[in-house]
Amino acid sequence: MSAQLETSQQLSDLLKQHRKATDEQGVVDVDTRKRRLQTAIDLLVDHHEELCAAIDKDFGGRHTGFSLMNDILGSLGSLKHARDNLEQWVGSESRQVFSPYDQMGAQAWVQYKPKGTVGIMGTWNAPLFTLFSPLASVLSAGNRAVLKPSEVVPHTAQVLAKIVAECFDPLDVAVITGGVEVSQAFAGMPFDHLVFTGSTEVGKKIMRAAADNLVPVTLELGGKSPVIISETADVREAARRLAIAKGMNGGQLCISPDRIYVPVAAQDEFVSAFCETYSALYPTVEDNPDFTAVVNVQHLARVAGYVAQAQEEGAEVVRCPDVPVPAVGRKHPLSIVINPPLLSDIMQQEIFGPALVLLTYSDVKHVVQEINQGERPLALYYFGEDEAEQNYVLNHTLSGGVTLNDALMHAAMEEAPFGGVGASGMGHYHGRDGFLEFSHARTVFKSAPVDPRGEWGMLPPFSEHFTPGLITQVTR
Ligand code: NAD
């Protein structure tokens, strides 16, 4: 079989071979798991230049420094953390046996078994991270994997397919490339678990397709991550940190700040401080290698359309840096859209690009109510020094994760789960939580040599004392 996969028939044949290899292998020992993780680490270290160049080409402008930080180092962080900690995760755990069997020598434990083969569908915005970070958890749990890179970044997908085929045994990790039809076929394959990173809309289709084979899914989806700037916040510092976060990848991050709630009195100070930082980071746009382009014309038109519609409907738009929108190319200055109408697209759709919404408020409880009227977001950010208010926000909202007094940071925690809730997804990866996500927790009960049930009158034919005896145990 060719190591590079392009058709669903090839994938189907490979999955049969994976299943046979899994059944024959039995235990996947720590050394095997570490070897697979190390292969992924070596692959990224050896080929980072080629991979970053491919990402730059696909985006039509993405700085190598950002690709190194986000995709190479981000993935290496997850892989090394798994390699260096999995020994503490893999062992069986003994569990307390119920009475009176505990007294008779019965034993019980939970084994964390590899599920088998996990399909991982990545997205274009973080084309390596969304494949390799879940892969770290998948391999630490002893699974095999097939990766499906996004067709929106075809050069990256091709380079990745080539180097994975060179470095990995396809029975450990393989890549399949192709467009939406291949993704559709992929989602309908009988994997033992499927990880999908992408939009909420496509996530629903993935779950429907996976249901046909009862394949469990981890869905890493998007949403409109809100930011609350408290009256107690240092507004200038909050604006500075948010400008840094929003500039990352040209706003094309799943946890990018999407709408920012600012106290009415702080609006001007916030906008001016935000633009000051953003314009210092990106004094120019069109010719600026530090500025990440929007990935393609469709996404550019989508984001520009949101901004134009809101402006037509009366919203104020501030651009930073304050330069004209270039006629050509896909690098546009950031648009801050102030108080757009509730039903405008920019208020309803995830922005995922160089724009954000600024909403002024006078009561933080109304802000929480408004957030709760929408779908559960992937991230939530709160800036402020009032601990009671901070706890109010934490206690009355639900989101995939939270960063306080900054943005994006919680997602970099290898020791803590990363994932969404509700419309922003289900399941998670990173660390021990990721290991558990891709393991089957199998309970094993080992019986005691003696079986006292007959002697105790617990077996038919039941004596006249059997039911009254049980009734005495129906207690609170
Ligand atoms: P998308 O959902 O539009 O597309 C994702 C992939 O789905 C595509 O590459 C395509 O091949 C496939 N696809 C399309 N239709 C399909 C179908 N019917 N069946 C099976 N597969 C199908 O998302 P995108 O544009 O690639 O990525 C942007 C989205 O991803 C945003 O919503 C963003 O928030 C989210 N995202 C989430 C995370 C996270 O970790 N939660 C990370 C990055 C991006």
CATH number of the domain bearing residue 288: 3.40.309.10
Question: Is the CB of 349 inside a 6 Å radius of any atom of ligand 1?
Answer: no
In this predicted structure, what is the pLDDT of residue 1?
47
The burial class, CB within 10 Å (0-12 / 13-18 / 19+), for 297 is exposed
Return the residue matching tokens 């290899």: 21
Question: Is the CB of 78 inside a 6 Å radius of any atom of ligand 1?
Answer: no
Please answer whether residues 3 and 165 qualify as being in contact, where contact means their C-beta atoms are separated by less than 8 angstroms.
Answer: yes
Question: Is the CB of 198 inside a 6 Å radius of any atom of ligand 1?
Answer: yes
Q: Which pair of structure tokens corresponds to residue 262?
A: 């600012």
In this predicted structure, what is the pLDDT of residue 5?
86
DSSP SS3 for 294: coil
Closest C-alpha to ligand 1, atom 41: 220
288 CA → ligand 1 middle, Å: 28
| 407 within domain boundaries | yes
Return the residue matching tokens 């559960």: 376
Atom of ligand 1 nearest to the CA of 350: 32
d(CA 128, CA 134): 10
* 251 and 386 co-located in one domain: yes
Domain carrying residue 394: 226-413
Residue from 199, 258, 295, 349 to probe ligand 1 pocket by mutation (most atoms less than 8 Å from CB): 199
* 27 and 139 co-located in one domain: yes
The burial class, CB within 10 Å (0-12 / 13-18 / 19+), for 281 is middle
Annotated catalytic residue: which of 52, 151, 254, 375? Answer: 254
* 254 catalytic per annotation: yes
* 166 and 257 co-located in one domain: no
* 195 and 324 co-located in one domain: no
Annotated catalytic residue: which of 220, 286, 350, 437? Answer: 220
Please answer whether residues 134 and 141 qualify as being in contact, where contact means their C-beta atoms are separated by less than 8 angstroms.
Answer: no
198 CA → ligand 1 middle, Å: 2
Question: Is the CB of 126 inside a 6 Å radius of any atom of ligand 1?
Answer: yes
End-to-end C-alpha distance for the chain, whole angstroms: 62
AA identity, residue 411: A
| 156 within domain boundaries | yes
DSSP SS3 for 228: strand
Return the residue matching tokens 């994932």: 419
130 CA → ligand 1 middle, Å: 11
Residue 252 DSSP label: -
* 220 catalytic per annotation: yes
In this predicted structure, what is the pLDDT of residue 4?
74
Closest C-alpha to ligand 1, atom 26: 123
The shares of helix, strand and coil residues in the chain, as percent rounded to the nearest 5, are 45, 15, 35
In this predicted structure, what is the pLDDT of residue 3?
61
Closest C-alpha to ligand 1, atom 6: 198
CATH number for position 132: 3.40.605.10
* 191 and 310 co-located in one domain: no
Ramachandran angles phi, psi of 393, nearest 5°: -65, -45
* 337 and 351 co-located in one domain: yes
Total domains in the fold of the chain = 2
In this predicted structure, what is the pLDDT of residue 6?
83
Question: Is the CB of 199 inside a 6 Å radius of any atom of ligand 1?
Answer: yes
Closest C-alpha to ligand 1, atom 25: 198
Question: Is the CB of 150 inside a 6 Å radius of any atom of ligand 1?
Answer: yes
| 451 within domain boundaries | no
* 202 and 76 co-located in one domain: yes
* 217 and 231 co-located in one domain: no
AA identity, residue 121: M
| 286 within domain boundaries | yes
AA identity, residue 378: L
Question: Is the CB of 375 inside a 6 Å radius of any atom of ligand 1?
Answer: no
The CB density around residue 325, as the number of other CB atoms within 10 Å, is 13
d(CA 254, CA 258): 10
AA identity, residue 325: V
Contacts of 83 (CB under 8 A, 6+ apart): 34, 37, 38, 41, 140
Please answer whether residues 414 and 405 qualify as being in contact, where contact means their C-beta atoms are separated by less than 8 angstroms.
Answer: no
Question: Is the CB of 220 inside a 6 Å radius of any atom of ligand 1?
Answer: yes
d(CA 377, CA 213): 29
Peptide bond between residue 321 and the one before it cis (omega within 30 degrees of 0): yes
Mean pLDDT per 10-residue interval, the chain, length 476 residues: 76 96 95 98 98 97 97 98 98 96 95 98 98 98 98 98 98 97 97 98 98 98 96 98 98 98 98 98 95 96 98 97 92 97 97 98 98 98 98 98 98 97 98 98 96 91 93 95
| 159 within domain boundaries | yes
Ramachandran angles phi, psi of 330, nearest 5°: -120, 25
* 39 and 111 co-located in one domain: yes
* 239 and 184 co-located in one domain: no
455 CA → ligand 1 middle, Å: 61
Kind and range of the H or E run holding 208: helix 200-211
| 158 within domain boundaries | yes
Closest C-alpha to ligand 1, atom 5: 198
| 456 within domain boundaries | no
407: left (phi over 0), alpha (psi -120 to 50) or beta: beta
The burial class, CB within 10 Å (0-12 / 13-18 / 19+), for 374 is middle
| 33 within domain boundaries | yes
Question: Is the CB of 123 inside a 6 Å radius of any atom of ligand 1?
Answer: yes
d(CA 427, CA 144): 19
* 149 and 248 co-located in one domain: no
Residue 328 DSSP label: S
Kind and range of the H or E run holding 357: strand 355-361
d(CA 423, CA 373): 13
Closest C-alpha to ligand 1, atom 8: 150
d(CA 181, CA 442): 35
* 333 and 408 co-located in one domain: yes
Atom of ligand 1 nearest to the CA of 179: 11
DSSP SS3 for 335: strand
428 CA → ligand 1 middle, Å: 16
Alpha-carbon torsion angle 260, 61, 57, 121, nearest 10: -10
Kind and range of the H or E run holding 229: strand 226-229
